[in-house]
A = this chain, B = another copy of it.
Amino acid sequence: MLEDKKVSKTSLSEIGEFGLIEQIKEGFPIRLETSIKGIGDDAAVLDYGNEKTVVSTDMLVEGVNFSWSYMPLRHLGYKAVVTAISDILAMNAIPKQILVSLALSNRFTLEAVDEIYNGMKYACDKYEIDIVGGDTTSSVNGLVINMTALGSAKAEKISYRKGDVKENDLLVLSGDLGAAFLGLQVLEREAQVTKVNPDNQPDLEQYSYLVERQLKPEARLDIVKLLAEMEIVPTAMIDVSDGLSSEVIHLSKENNIGFNIYEEKIPLDPAVIRTAEEFQINPITCALSGGEDFELLFTIKQEDFEKIKANPYLTVIGHATATGAENYLITKGSEQMIPLTAQGWGTGEEESED
C-alpha cells in the first residue's frame, strides 16, 4: 500500500473527462449479481429483490477531512471507501455498491487520480463491492471526494440508531478505540518536523498500529457477518466515527435511555496507552473524543451475552440504565460517575464541526 514515486505526468485535459471515465470503468468491472448496470450510463441499476436498500453519503474535503502532508493518495482512496461502507455496516446491512464523485483542481495529474482509484480498487476487492457510478468535475483549488454507498438487508435484520433498546441491554463495542486519533497526532507532528527539516527521516515503527489505523482503517464487515452467524440482531447500532462519547449520546438520545460505560472496560491497544502518555493525554479521552476508529457500537439483549462473551473482537463496555437517564463514565474502581459530553478534543466544539 505504499505509494510509488511516479515520474510520468499526464494532465487530465489530455485525456478528457470521458477518457477518464472510460479508464475508471475498465478498472472496475462489476462483480455482483445485484449490480445490473454500473458506470457509463445516466444512472446505475441495482436489484435487491425483496431485501431493503440501504444508502448513505459522505463528503471528504482536502484541508478539512484530510491533508496531503501525511495522507498518500492511495490510502486516501482506500479510506474513502471504508468511510462510506462503515455507515452501511452500522445498519447491520451488507455494503454492495459505491458511487464516487471527485472535484479535482488542475494540479492533479492522471497518475494522481489513478493512485486514488488504486486505493479504492484495493478496498473494493477486499470488501467485495462494486463501483457503479460517479461524477468528475473541476475544482478551483483542492480535492473534494463524495462517496455514496448502497447495501441491502432483510427488513428484520436492520439495526437502527433509534432501535428497541431496553433497560439492562448490554452496550457492546468491536475492536479498540483511540488509535486513529493518536495516529493523526503522530503524523501531524512528523509533518511539522519535516517542514522545518526536509531531511527528516521519521522512524514511525513504534507507532505503526496507530498510523495504520489513521491511514488505512478497516470497516467492520467481519462483525456484521459474525452477528449474522451468531444470530444476534443488535437492538440499536451506530459506527464510531466521532468518538465513543458522541456515539453513546446519539444512542441515548434516539432511544430515550441512559447508558453507564466503564472506564476499565474500554478497549485500548498498548500503543494507545504508551503514545497517549507521550503526548500527555489521558488515553480514555482519546477513546471518548478521538474520531475515525470505524468500530461498531451496539446494544444487545442480556440473553445474547452468552453468544458473544468468548469473542475476542467484542467487548461489553456498559449497559442501558433507565428511560430518560443521563449517560455516565464509571471510573476505575467505581470511584466516580462522570457525565458524558459530546465535546470534541480540546476545542470545546463538536468534533465533526472542526
Contacts and interface: CB of A to CB of B under 8 A. Distances in A.
Interface stretch (A49-57, A108-116, A176-184, A303-311): A49-57
A27 interface: no
Contacts of A142: 140
A44 B55 contact: yes
Contacts of A120: none
Interface in A106-156: 132-135, 137-142, 144, 146, 148-151, 155
B16 A350 contact: yes
Given A41-B91, A42-B239, A350-B16, A148 B57 contact: yes
B64 A53 contact: no
Query: What is the total number of copies of this protein in its complex?
Result: 2
A284 interface: no
A353 B17 contact: yes
A164 to B, nearest CB: 14
A301 interface: no
A49 B48 CA distance: 8
B57 A133 contact: yes
Given A64-B140, A103-B59, A161 B42 contact: yes
A198 B9 CA distance: 44
A62 B86 CA distance: 29
Interface in A198-221: none
Interface string A35-46: 011001111111
B239 A55 contact: no
A262 interface: no
Contacts of A40: 161-162
A158 interface: yes
Nearest to A138: B64
A324 interface: no
B45 A103 contact: no
Given A18-B350, A144-B144, A93 B57 contact: no
